[in-house]
Structure 1
Amino acid sequence: MTNNSNENVIVRTITPLTARQIQLSTESEGNTFKIDKEFVMNVSLVGTVIKVLDGNTYTNYTIDDGTGQLNVRKFKRNKQNNLDDQEEQEGQEEGEKKKSEQIENPFENKYVRIIGNLKEYKNQKSFSVTKITEITDSNQITTHFLEAILVHMQRTKGILKKEQATSQESQIKEEKIEIQKETNNNNNIISQQNTTQILGLALKDKALRLISSNQTSSGISLQELSKELKSTEEEIREIVDFFLDQGQIYITIDDEHFRSTD
């Protein structure tokens, strides 16, 4: 799709953005928006769902990504890509705003990746969600922000020349460090419980492999597991108790020696 000028080409690829960038976007002709002087329509956003309001035809999510908060809307109908359809439901939506209540939602208080499109609706900026998925790997957060930084710099400073690459790579690394620090310190980024679960799964897997690899009659001891896994005996005790409950290991000569049931 083009307008009167060759410069006015709407980018139909998915552009990684932050909430702040979307808030600062400027409206252009034809129900489109510009960010960094470039037309954008399909965008991706990563953040924490801090509030959910459910209506009859749509669910409204409030997203916080550390740069700002943004309200996005996912319609429950199978097709909601036509602005005229939205306007036809104007009366219903006004009623839903009054009736909507904060509800429990599978995405609430979790970090998610949202794909959607920007458009003008009722003389206001609107973000219509086409897909929302939960983030389970914190690396996805860092990757998204790095991509957003890269796209922003390419659009404002142009494609890097070879002689600029080294300094730019250094700057990106510094940005990555700052993002990681902010990720660790921001209360709205993946909860400590979810991070602990991810690390715990890796530790459990290592522990089970150590127990299974020990073929002695007495099995492996709690102290040996603690030393090999570089964890406290209290942490290892929780892990072996879990495996005992699952029937994956059993006690041998005393309650501190274990063998695999495989």
Structure 2
Amino acid sequence: MYSGYDAGASQFAGGGFMPSPAPAGDTTGQSPKKFGSQSQTLRAVTVKQLLEGTNNTGDDQYKVDGVELQNITLVGKLVDVKQFETNLTYILDDGTGKVEIKFWLDNDEGDQVQQRLQQYRVGMYVRAHGHVRSFQNQKSVVAFNLRAITDYNEVTYHLLQCVFQHVHLTKGASSGRPPAAAAGPTTAAPAGQPAAASVPATNNNMAGGDGMSNVQRDACALFNSPDANASESGISLEQVIGSLNSKYPVTDIRAAVDFLVNEGHIYTTVDDVHFKSTAF
């Protein structure tokens, strides 16, 4: 591991700015935006895996462990930050290599550029979500999500997740039976959709030790459920509302889903009202 990688938890400064996507529940008067029929899975990778990814088609469809990459997530330390007219370019080092992370700017983001430059500084650890691109045989990541890391456990978790996914894809899943899920009522789902498990009622909406309110935590639990993980499209906002509307106002549920998107816990899949957890 290179000498510039400081693995100490004291490196974490906290804070971070997230680009704000359109509210997940704001679909009034329009159909959900379709993202195409291709797989929208999220893959945790190291920089070394990314740089060694293969491409036999000549386009930007790279494979790691024989599986095509769509959405990827990287964790590492920022070692350089540059501002250009159309993008902010970060160099991320995770101890296995360095890669360029590009965050493209909209014309109306002038005020937010300086905020991003102040929030994402050299020496900070970040998690990036994005797509792999190549220009003149040099791979880079076009980020659609960037978040500062404040707990070093997330770095360890990411590396373990990379190892787990690599072993799972190259050596196969365990032949043993998975642990049985706890029995409980489920909310009916539309045909072809996974059922979202109901969450036991609570008496308040106070934040817990993880920094989430009860409605945010319950919504996150639905996205992390086995049914949601088994479905390529995840679960829909409608299903989440159907599971939680007996406990919380619909506006609070929509706000909770927006929170989970903004914090990088979930991402959109087949359209802008279906989501899947980044934990898988």
| Interval of TM-score (by shorter of Structure 1 and Structure 2) | 0.3 to 0.5
Which gives a bigger RCO, structure 1 or 2 (Cα 8 Å, sep 6+)? 2
Name the larger-Rg structure: 1
Report the TM-score, using the length of structure 2 for normalisation.
0.44
Report the TM-score, using the length of structure 1 for normalisation.
0.47
